[in-house]
Structure 1
């Protein structure tokens, strides 16, 4: 077992190492430039389309708005709370700047993923729309690339049980036990019931729950962070100075902070940014493929907002709470660092707020990833796998809540990164399709803000 663990650790260091980060950023930058910065320029247009997207506008399973909320339910999670804190602990304040840069190019990646997901989606045996990287690899690149589609589905199907289920359940159990002394088996049992109850309704119920829960939890968390930042408003100018200064100059050791080179700020900012918003990993387009939209680009401009909301908005609020309170020099990392920030401003209540936020974020991640994993396994084994999968997925939460998951986390994290390889290859090869569809959309009435869908 030690040999297997060591081999996977070595592979993990490669797949989450510098070459992978450069590849993800490189494809994102290529798409951003190829789209002529459209994903940045059209952010206001995207929000107007998101508002209109509350109503179905074409064939599909769920509204464009609900598709985005389903995607966000999977990406808004521990990365927004613990991931940001880890980036600051390892890379210093400058890591926040590189998280922002990752998000800006990641918007183009998410845009392209959704465009291709809708363009190459298909109907399954039940007459329901399915799509994602495995479908745009096979249908866009041709049958000779089918092996690459199978690899993606295999990586996603297995990784989902770890990164999207058991690890999340473990985070919830740990947070609730620490803050409220709730036994892990109780948390796991409740999660089995809650997750199972949602999965019975399929994507329609997942989308409905996500549409109600995601905006509520995001607004609630932003409000809590805003209180912390407001109580330290005098430190805001200095905080932004720290972020921009240490993005390009080393951060000296101070207090419990060991110091960080510019390369560390860049590396951990990029890595945590990708971990949080999942741009390039290929998970989000599986949800966007189910959108009731008239065309690929319509959903693409909605999808790109996922990265903006997740990283530019939510991760930034966590970073500001940590940096304005000054606790980042105290030596804490992960969720403990975010908790320290909240406790410094809201003694006695801060820890509970973080625990509740972490629990809700992790729960919604389990819902979003259940759909990703289900569609990946469906691609491999057909619709007969759906019911057994939902049962196993629900009970996996109990396993995750009550066991130590060192090896599971390592394996899932490695496979999660491997998902990006076939997806990025497809995005690069199919980029001319994305560029052409985008030009056509904005050159016709379809690109008018009065008739976006």
Structure 2
């Protein structure tokens, strides 16, 4: 049965992430960049200034909303997850070091895509029956494209509900259990045979914690993410920079292998990864899995922000992709490649490869700290995607079903703790691709609205 599921998923995955998907994702990002005169480059310093300025501005949010800082933390909570750790490791193993280069390319164009998604989400959002601000791809399709396109909004929401269980929950929990088990085994605190029991216990604890946060509503979600995200990101960045500094002599060779391997992967991987397209496919798909540019999911959190300026909130999208992929994913790649650990090219790899990069540099003692960092990353992602799933199911049915969804979503953590990682990543990657299609169509068709809003914003000097 599992072999059949795997075969079907592989066939669908290969089609979705084939040439048409690469053209769509890269193409829409390039199209939006051209139409906005490469806003993500022209206004990069402005976006960082605006983003950081609003992050450190302390103010409350009205009922049913988040502060702009809480919104970006919730979106970052969902993006800065195991895709940055296990996903990057998997991309390097299957696509070679060159896949990192294609992550950078997808991130550069993805900055404009995510900017557009966030801007549209805030512009076309609604207030639901509970008084909460709701928005995202399904709402900018519904309110921006009209009744004839309602089917596309329904399709996005349906794929969204299916995606959150794998991308947002099961893969994250699986990485948490891998990290904790690796740390406990390295200290001989558990035996090899008892790892499954430990995973089950971890799954039950996580299910309870996730339910506790999500059932508390939008205010509690925002409150948790604004405290957790800055701590975990800074903690991980410091650890990763330490590995790079201790192996600084290898940095030029690593950078060369990334650039050269992007176009000639066989020369870098000894022929194990022999195709340029495989390197590109893994880099782009894992990059999108990590930063969500093109999926539209991050815009769901931003739609909750207590702001009246869609474009100003849109600049958070540029910052998110930069922080997630250009900074954190790159640091993970350099931890693996600079540390000199053997990379199993052509085979599936995950968080354990990243952990090995840290322990080979610092020693086994650091495994407990990397486990803590990965647990924070993964848990924050579960929370963020829980909000996304709730909004999608609310759009399909009503807000009355949200609590039931939250309970089911929380219980999936128990399944994710004991499932096979390889198949989980593959299925999550497939649903990510399916989710991106209706969103990219909508963003492409609404690009004129984005251009108009940007012009109006800067004509008004961008002042609230």
Shifted more, 338-347 versus 325-334: the winner is: 325-334
Three-state SS of the structure 2 residue aligned to 1:402 is coil
Counterpart in the other structure of 1:427: 443
The more displaced of 368-377 and 73-82 is: 73-82
1:89 matched to 2:97: no
The answer on whether the counterparts of 2:97 and 2:265 sit within 8 Å (CA) in structure 1 is no
Q: Deviations over 1:404-440 (max 9, x none)?
A: 5776665444222211111011001000000110011
- In structure 2, relative to structure 1, the CA distance for the partners of 1:411 and 1:319 (3 Å cut) is closer
**2:376 counterpart of 1:360:** yes
CA apart distance, 1:58:
8.4
SS in 1 for 2:296: coil
* Correspondence list, 1:266-285, <5 A: 266-285=280-299
Could you tell me how far apart the structure 2 residues matched to 1:383 and 1:254 are?
A: 51
Residue 127 of structure 1 is matched in structure 2 by 131
1:213 is matched with which residue?
A: 228
**1:245–1:174 CA distance, 2 compared to 1 (3 A):** closer
- Give the structure 2 partner of residue 338 of structure 1: 354
Query: Distance in 2 between the 1:185 and 1:78 partners?
Result: 19
- Partner residue of 1:193? 208
Match of 2:410 among 368, 382, 394: 394
* CA shift for structure 1 position 329: 4.7
Give 5+ residue unaligned stretches, structure 1: none
Q: Is the 8 A contact 2:214 2:220 kept in 1?
A: yes
- Unaligned residue ranges in structure 2 (runs of 5+): 185-189
Is the Cα contact below 8 Å between 2:163 and 2:432 reproduced in 1? yes
User: Helix, strand or coil: the match of 1:252?
Assistant: helix
- 1:153-177 deviations in Å (ceiling 9; x for gaps): 1110121112211222222123222
SS of structure 2 residue aligned to 1:290 = coil
TM-score normalised according to structure 1 size: 0.92
* 2:153 pairs with 1:139: no
Q: Is the 8 A contact 1:378 1:386 kept in 2?
A: yes
- 1:295-310 aligned within 5 A: 295-310=309-324
Structure 1 distance, partners of 2:424, 2:261, is 35
1:351-376 CA-partner distances (Å, limit 9, x unpaired) = 33333322221111100000000000
Q: Compare 307-316 and 63-72 and name the one that shifted more.
A: 63-72
Give CA-to-partner distance per residue, 1:226-284, whole Å, 9 cap, x none.
111111111222222222233334442567x8254433332222222112111101211
* Equivalent in the alignment of 1:104: 108
- Between 1:364-373 and 1:416-425, the stretch displaced more is 416-425
Is 2:177–2:199's contact at 8 Å kept on the other side of the alignment?
yes
| CA 49–328 in structure 1, closer or farther in 2 if over 3 Å, else same | farther
Cα pair 2:93 2:344 within 8 Å, conserved: no
**How many Å apart are 1:394 and its aligned residue?**
1.8
Residue 330 (structure 2) aligns with: 316
Quote the residue 1:18 is aligned against: 19
CA RMSD between the two structures: 2.2
**Cα distance between partner residues in 2 of 1:317 and 1:163:** 22
Q: In structure 1, how many angstroms separate the alpha carbons of the residues matched to 2:101 and 2:425?
A: 27
Whole-angstrom distance in 2 between the partners of 1:192 and 1:259: 38
Q: Cα distance 1:20–1:44, how it changes in 2: closer, same or farther (>3 A)? A: same
| Partners of 1:90 and 1:260 within 8 A in 2 | no
Give yes or no for contact 1:58–1:294 (8 Å, CA) kept in 2.
Answer: no
Contact kept, 8 Å, 1:56 with 1:62, in 2: the verdict is: no
Query: 1:222 deviation in Å?
Result: 0.7
Matched, 1:294 2:308: yes
Give CA deviations for 1:379-407 in whole Å, capped at 9, x if unaligned: 11111111212222222212322345776
Instruction: Output the CA distance in 1 between the equivalents of 2:314 and 2:362.
Output: 40
Give the equivalent residue in structure 1 for 2:393.
377
Q: Deviations over 1:155-202 (max 9, x none)?
A: 101211122112222221232223224611220121122111211221
Which sits farther off after the overlay, 225-234 or 103-112? 225-234
> In structure 1, the residue corresponding to 2:307 is in which secondary structure?
coil
Distance 1:399-1:121 versus aligned 2 partners, 3 A rule:
same
> What is the aligned partner in structure 2 of residue 32 from structure 1?
33
| 1:78 is aligned to 2:90 | no
Tell me, in whole angstroms, the C-alpha distance in 1 between the residues paired with 2:426 and 2:275: 26
Q: CA deviation at 1:308?
A: 0.6
The question of whether the paired residues in 2 share the 8 Å contact of 1:81 and 1:338 is answered with yes
How many residues get paired?
447
Aligned CA distance change for structure 1 residues 157 and 244 (closer, same or farther; 3 Å): same
Secondary structure, counterpart of 2:37 in structure 1? coil
Residue of structure 1 equivalent to 2:187: none
Query: Match for residue 42 of structure 2?
Result: 41
Residues 357-366 or 233-242, more deviating: 233-242
